[in-house]
Amino acid sequence: MSFYSTVVLITIVLSIIMIVHINNSNIVTENARKGFCISFTIIIFVSFLEWLTYFADGKPLFPIWLHTLLSAIEFSLAPSLVVLWVYAIGNIKHSRIVIMFLLLHALIEFSSIWTGAIYYIDEGNHYCRGEYYFIYIICYTTAIAVMFFEAYYFSRKYQNRNFSSLIAAFCSLFIGIVANTMDGDIKTAWLSVTTCCVLFYIYYIELVVQSDGLTRLLNRRSYESHLAKLNYRTAVIIFDIDKFKDVNDTYGHAYGDTVLKKISKAILRCYNSKGLCYRIGGDEFCVILNKNSFRSESMIIKLNKRFTTLLEDLRRKEPTMPTVSVGYELFNGENNISDIIHNADTMMYSNKNSNR
């Protein structure tokens, strides 16, 4: 078996494994299931097409028209993959523009069957790049750029967690494209696409696993993991909604969920630029300031005052919105984290008693 056949086989087997895994996962949403499974199916299909065109190249018995058609299909499908990845995470904006872009790109690629502008198959049945091959590169690069920025904005909903995984996925794809563009004999492009898709899936799953499904704040698992690694000077801020049980009993659990979402949004708006925001219990929240954000205790007081103001504005518009008690403690990077949490809780409960 040739090296290229081995690469294709690895690409196809890896894609099949991912399809089986995704279909058996209880974590991914239906959009993610469809988006990633269709992506890996296209990778299998196009990898096989490229394998056929690779062995058809220069073979006089292989029909030139079929060689040309298979190449057109391969070229036209490539940018659709990165769009499907964005669809998988549920973050496609301006879907009509995206669809029009993909259709226009496919039309350009198929027109090359007659014009030879992007690519052509010569009389010896050899694949050749056309004078306007750069159009394909521009279209593909544009799709990747859209994927990267849409994924970045998606990660902001999850407080930019695991951004390094997104960079790794982007780099693996970029390297494969650059290598293939510089040397058409390098046939590892679809392996790099598959690697990117796997990394992008891991990136998505890590975000989902770390987040609270209702509020989109980071969840308790992520919170406890952060506490276990905490070794820098910072502040831990604890929040607890006052009389939240009464809210649920009086207005119902659906309204209680609305309260949780609105208070979470206020916490994010106030503290997100300075630290990581967590939902650590039913109506309990926590913020741990970033390593380079913490300055002094006066900074914490200002942030908490801003949060109180945001909540007061919210309660003026919606009088049934409950108050929130806040407590905090400073961490010097060395003292016992359990004591820090206890002290923050003590301050929070003291403030809660004052709110009654």
Instruction: Assign residue 341 the CATH number of its domain.
Output: 3.30.70.270
User: Does the residue 288 lie in any domain?
Assistant: yes
**Domain C-terminal end among 158, 184, 210:** 210
User: Does the residue 67 lie in any domain?
Assistant: yes
pLDDT of residue 13: 92
Alpha helix locations (H) across the chain? 3-23, 30-56, 64-88, 95-115, 133-157, 163-182, 189-210, 220-229, 244-251, 253-271, 297-317, 337-355
183 with 295, same domain?
Answer: no
pLDDT of residue 183: 65
Domain assignment of residue 246, given as a range: 220-355
pLDDT band at 1 (very low <50, low <70, confident <90, very high): low
pTM for this one? Answer: 0.81
pLDDT band at 334 (very low <50, low <70, confident <90, very high): confident
User: Does the residue 215 lie in any domain?
Assistant: no
User: Does the residue 196 lie in any domain?
Assistant: yes
140 with 234, same domain?
Answer: no
**Domain C-terminal end among 185, 210, 235:** 210
Alpha carbons 268 and 276: distance in angstroms, whole number = 9
Alpha carbons 71 and 74: distance in angstroms, whole number = 5
Closest by CA position to 234, among listed 147, 165, 328 = 328
Q: Is it the case that residue 260 has pLDDT exceeding 60?
A: yes
**How many Cβ atoms are within 10 Å of 2's Cβ, its own excluded?**
10
What is each CA distance from 237 to 251, 308, 330, in whole angstroms? 28, 13, 9
Q: Is it the case that residue 32 has pLDDT exceeding 80?
A: yes
56 with 176, same domain?
Answer: yes
244 with 319, same domain?
Answer: yes
> How many structural domains comprise the chain?
2
> Does residue 22 or residue 100 have the better pLDDT?
22
Closest by CA position to 237, among listed 292, 282, 294 = 294
91 with 163, same domain?
Answer: yes
Q: Is it the case that residue 179 has pLDDT exceeding 60?
A: yes
User: Does the residue 41 lie in any domain?
Assistant: yes
206 with 275, same domain?
Answer: no
226 with 200, same domain?
Answer: no
pLDDT band at 273 (very low <50, low <70, confident <90, very high): confident
**Terminal C-alpha separation, the chain:** 77
Give the range among 158-167, 265-274, 310-319, 347-356 with minimum mean pLDDT: 158-167
Q: Strand 284-289 relative to strand 127-129: parallel, antiparallel, unpaired? A: unpaired
pLDDT band at 262 (very low <50, low <70, confident <90, very high): very high
205 with 240, same domain?
Answer: no
User: Does the residue 284 lie in any domain?
Assistant: yes
234 with 100, same domain?
Answer: no
Structure tokens at 146: 């859209």
Mean pLDDT of the chain: 85
Assign 26 to helix, strand or coil: coil
282 with 163, same domain?
Answer: no
**How many Cβ atoms are within 10 Å of 311's Cβ, its own excluded?**
20
Closest by CA position to 270, among listed 344, 217, 214 = 217
Q: What is the mean pLDDT of residues 127-131?
A: 87
Q: What is the mean pLDDT of residues 24-42?
A: 88
Contact between 321 and 259 (Cβ < 8 Å): yes
pLDDT band at 80 (very low <50, low <70, confident <90, very high): confident
Q: Is it the case that residue 55 has pLDDT exceeding 60?
A: yes
239 with 188, same domain?
Answer: no
**Domain C-terminal end among 210, 238, 272:** 210
User: Does the residue 241 lie in any domain?
Assistant: yes
249 with 162, same domain?
Answer: no
